[in-house]
Amino acid sequence: MIKLENVTKIYKNKATSTTALRGISLSIERGEFVSIVGTSGCGKTTLLNIIGCMDTLTDGKYFYDDVCVSDLSVKEQHEFRKEHIGFVFQHFELMHSYTVYENVEMPLLARNVKKPDRKKKVNSYLEMVGILDLAGKLPSHLSGGQQQRCAIARALAAETELIIADEPTGAIDSRTSAGIMELLTNLNEKGKTVIIVTHDINIAKQCNRIIEIEDGRLVNS
Amino acid sequence: MKNRIRFMFAWHKIVLNFKSFISSILVMTISLILIAFSLFFYHGTQYVENQYDHTLTKGMSRSGIFGFTSHPYRDYDIMNELYNSKEIESIGSTTLGGNDFECFSELRAIQSGNASDYVNSISGFLEILWINKTLLGFSELKLDTGNMITDQEINDGVMYMYLGSAYKDKVELGTIYEESNSKFQVQGFLERGSTWIDPDTINGIYVTDANNVLELENSVIVADDYIHVGGLFFSISDGTTRDEAVKAITDIADKHEREITVGFLDDMYKSENEDTRLLISYIVRIMAVVVFSSLVMISCLQIVAILNDRRTYGILYSIGANEKDIGAIIIYENIIRAIFSFLLCSIGILPIVHNWYGGDILWSPFKEIVLQKVLPVVFISLIPIAIISCLAPLIFLHRTTPSQLIGGKND
């Protein structure tokens, strides 16, 4: 499903350049539940952003099935992301001025889903993550765990086969983290390919496969 | 993403960032008012010139005034001689005056009944527009019925009257009014829309004077031979140059040992309004600078707004929006700004018109200048302002990855 060949990412500014990824090559199959682990600053979020087309690579190739994603134009990458990838961010990244319902509805609006279908889907995703009763609330009125569930529901609403989660338990307590991981595991069991980034090895062990990165290099896949 | 959804996002962003929206509205509105102000100045002067040119048979460049330096004694001779010369088409004086003759009670009742439309109505008097017979061709006075007599010979002491279209169904053609050895006969009714130059023009033509032309709906014109004021209007014949006309006038004046001054209306207008016209030419040039500056300022404000709100755009990308969606949201925001600014500018221009012409906003210049000339141009100029000021923000978003917009750590 996903194949990275010798992927390198260098961040340049006027004074310095920083190599975040050094020749990463790996592949991820459809239906896997993968965690990418490493210490802070090792390049795991950068790798996730490249897989999710939220950032560009400096060198190497990125394939998704038969498509060379790294060769797509910016416009094509937006469309690719829309079709294939759902995101969950560490700090939830919900729209604070919209309700839970409206946040989950957004990917469906971006995909021109009709109103009756939208309502049905939003409610089903909210129910799936266990926060249907919070639909009318603003994110600021939710706990960390509830906000992360909302973010997961929003990613589900994108109806993509791949879900990418950057430190999904990073901003919440351990008890709530367990609930979130259970949710992600369920999604994987239902056929979603899930890739998470975490610095917590205990969280990583709950996945089927662990990819270790150290100083921008692949240590263990 | 549908346009309705894009618009909804744009509107919601405006509501959330209301202070920023107000700042940009103020910048845009001030710029538009300055543009409208410049256009109004320009068209305001053109309005005065157009009024005269539409009314005068020969236009401003071939019509003029010559003034006597002493009381008009024996000036009938000069007037008749000039009228008979090939260089001069029409010549004479004109004035507005009130008349309280009892015989005019019928006409007075009709005129005062329409007083709200009659700008120069004098209470209790019949307002008469006196025009020398030899000057009737100065403006394109057309009769709906009757006969325009320009023969300078007085006929049985009868003075000919020409009434505005408001009198047509109320007074009979040929009606005679007599009082105090004066005899007036209705010789014709003017066509609807007839106009005559304001007799006050003899004292000067000013860009701030919108009442340069009289509409004659309710007017009573008396054609006579009496020189009312110390100056005569004239127009020159086709085929005669301005220099030839001036020479003819001065030769005749010299022959009668009279000192006169001669000037054409366009020259008078330019010299009397030289400072204003110079100011207007600078203002029009400044307008171009204003448009450019407003583009820069609005672009900067937009870039700042986008930098402050880049996280939102990053999230929109992550949920499936594309560049077209984001671009449309930004453009819709700008369109909303533009509409509000235009409405504020339209209101803001009113005191400018009011102060320029003094007193009440006169409907005719407001409609002709502001509604037909100024606001359409201001509206059209909004389109490039709204679109071009989006370019820098759109380029910024195009060159920034979604992860940079969200601002996550690079680890």
B305 or B92, which is more confident: B92
- Which residue of B lies nearest to A47 if distances are taken between CA atoms? B411
Work out the end-to-end distance of chain B between its first and last CA atoms, rounded to an integer number of angstroms.
32
Q: Does residue B72 register a pLDDT over 60?
A: no
A167 or B283, which is more confident: A167
Residue A55 near residue B403 (C-beta atoms within 8 A):
yes
* Rounded Cα distance, A29 and B387, in Å: 46
How much is the pTM? 0.73
The answer on B155 and B23 residing in a single domain is no
* Chain A: closest CA distance from residue B340 (Å): 24
pLDDT tens-digit series, residues B328-340: 998 898 889 889 9
Write phi, then psi, for B75 (nearest 5 degrees). -80, -10
Average pLDDT over residues B202-216: 77
**Which residues have a Cβ under 8 Å from the Cβ of A206 and sit 6 or more positions away?**
A35, A181, A185
* Rounded Cα distance, B278 and B290, in Å: 18
Residue B73 near residue B66 (C-beta atoms within 8 A):
no
Supply the CATH classification number for the domain A2-220.
Answer: 3.40.50.300
The answer on B337 and B252 residing in a single domain is no
The answer on B165 and B305 residing in a single domain is no
The answer on B249 and B283 residing in a single domain is no
The answer on B201 and B299 residing in a single domain is no
SS3 content of chain B, % helix, strand, coil (to 5): 60, 20, 25
B97 or B365, which is more confident: B97
The answer on B264 and B206 residing in a single domain is yes
Number of A to B CB contacts under 8 A, please give it. 83
Angle at B96 (CA atoms; ends B95, B102), nearest 5 degrees: 125
User: In this structure, are strands B126-132 and B220-224 parallel, antiparallel, or unpaired?
Assistant: parallel
Q: Does A14 touch chain B (CB under 8 A)?
A: no
Q: Does residue B156 register a pLDDT over 70?
A: no
Give how many domains chain B has, as a whole number: 2
**B411: confidence class by pLDDT, cuts 50, 70, 90:** very low
- Summary count for chain B: helices (H), strands (E): 12, 13
A221 or B379, which is more confident: B379
**Which residues have a Cβ under 8 Å from the Cβ of B202 and sit 6 or more positions away?**
B65, B67, B93, B229, B231, B233
In a domain, B367, yes or no: yes
* Chain A: closest CA distance from residue B1 (Å): 4
Q: Going along A54-207, which residue ranges are E strands? A: 59-64, 67-68, 85-88, 162-166, 193-198
Q: Which helix (H) or strand (E) holds B96?
A: strand B94-99
Residue B303 near residue B393 (C-beta atoms within 8 A):
yes
Average pLDDT, chain A: 89
Q: What is the pLDDT of residue B70?
A: 66
* Chain B: closest CA distance from residue A68 (Å): 18
The answer on B154 and B209 residing in a single domain is yes
A contact test, residue of B11, B319, B323, B410 with most A CBs within 10 A: B319
Q: Does residue B206 register a pLDDT over 80?
A: no
Helix (H, G, I), strand (E, B) or coil at B26: helix
The answer on B280 and B182 residing in a single domain is no
Angle at B367 (CA atoms; ends B366, B372), nearest 5 degrees: 115
Q: What is the pLDDT of residue B96?
A: 87
Range of the domain at B325: 3-51+274-406
pLDDT tens-digit series, residues B123-134: 678 889 999 888
Q: What is the pLDDT of residue B227?
A: 78
Whether residues A55 and B5 touch (CB distance < 8 A) is answered with no
In a domain, B411, yes or no: no
Nearest to B214 by CA among B42, B92, B323, B94: B94
Contact list, A107 vs chain B (CB under 8 Å): 319-320
In a domain, B372, yes or no: yes
Q: Which of B224, B255, B271 is the last residue of a domain?
A: B271
Q: Does residue B257 register a pLDDT over 60?
A: yes
Q: What is the pLDDT of residue B301?
A: 80
Nearest to B140 by CA among B213, B63, B57: B57
The answer on B259 and B339 residing in a single domain is no
**A8: confidence class by pLDDT, cuts 50, 70, 90:** very high
Contact list, B410 vs chain A (CB under 8 Å): 11, 18, 20, 45-46
Residue linked to tokens 């583009």? B295
* Rounded Cα distance, B66 and B231, in Å: 6
pLDDT tens-digit series, residues A106-115: 999 988 898 8
Of the candidates B5, B315, B411, the beta carbon closest to that of A40 is on B411
Radius of gyration of chain B, Cα coordinates, nearest whole angstrom? 31
Residue B270 near residue B364 (C-beta atoms within 8 A):
no
Average pLDDT, chain B: 83
Q: Say which amino acid occupies B286.
A: I
The answer on B291 and B257 residing in a single domain is no
The answer on B249 and B160 residing in a single domain is yes
The answer on B230 and B97 residing in a single domain is yes
Helix axes B75-84, B242-255, angle to 10 degrees: 140
Q: What is the pLDDT of residue B130?
A: 92
In a domain, B136, yes or no: yes
Residue environment code for B301-323, b if the CB has 16+ CB neighbours within 10 A, otherwise e: bbbebbeeebebbbbbbbbbbbe
Q: What is the pLDDT of residue B118?
A: 47
**Any idea which of A56-70, B49-63, B266-280, B348-362 has the lowest mean pLDDT?**
B348-362
Q: What is the pLDDT of residue B155?
A: 58
Whether residues B403 and A49 touch (CB distance < 8 A) is answered with yes
**Domain coordinates in residue numbering, chain A:** 2-220
In a domain, B56, yes or no: no
Q: How far is CA A220 from CA A7, A35, A210, A212, A214, in A?
A: 16, 11, 8, 5, 9
Burial degree of A111 (CB within 10 A; 0-12, 13-18, 19+):
middle
Q: How far is CA B137 from CA A58, B200, B234, in A?
A: 85, 18, 10
Whether residues B406 and A89 touch (CB distance < 8 A) is answered with yes
Helix (H, G, I), strand (E, B) or coil at A89: coil
Q: Does residue B117 register a pLDDT over 50?
A: no
